[in-house]
Amino acid sequence: MDKENKSYEVGYVEAKTSGGAVYELGVKTSKHDKAIRRLAQPLMDKYWKNSGQDVTTLHRVYRVAEYLLKRSKRIK
């Protein structure tokens, strides 16, 4: 069997050539952002009324969510 005709399962080549550190960083960033969104959702429901408000309120909500996430990871 020569190399040109060798077939792999779907995603095998991409996984081998993607670069582990870059992929790992992307996964870590994605999980971090998802955790922030989960913490921000109840705050958004309470404080962000999507009716002509400033975007600064939205940014404040996300800043508070980031702080809460950082605080939850502290050693108690």
Q: Give 52-71 pLDDT, tens digit per residue.
A: 677 888 899 999 999 999 99
Q: What is the pLDDT of residue 3?
A: 60
Q: Tens of pLDDT along 7-47?
A: 777 767 766 666 666 677 788 889 999 999 999 999 888 88
pTM attached to this predicted model: 0.63
Tell me the HSE value of 4 on the side-chain side, using a 13 A CA sphere: 0
